[in-house]
Amino acid sequence: MEKPACGGLSIDDRNLLIAATAITHSLRLCTKNRKHFEKVVEYGLELVSPEQLAPKL
């Protein structure tokens, strides 16, 4: 169930919990699903893609 959050933007409760945990503990969030988390970047969430963390072969 999606509820308004982050200034009226809609974000799934589970994604909001994941983002809040990462922000609280100053962790970067590694995900391919950036569009769901970009809504909370302005609140201190740092996003990285798996490609950024994978070693170059």
Q: Would you list the DSSP string of the chain?
A: -EEEETTTEEEEHHHHHHHHHHHHTT-EEE-S-HHHHGGGGGGT-EEE-HHHHSPP-
Query: Global pTM?
Result: 0.75
Number of domains in the chain: 1
The reported pLDDT for the residue numbered 16 is: 94
Domain of 27?
2-53
How confident is the model at residue 49, as a pLDDT?
A: 92
pLDDT tens digits, residue range 3-52?
544 556 688 999 999 999 999 999 999 999 999 999 999 999 999 999 88
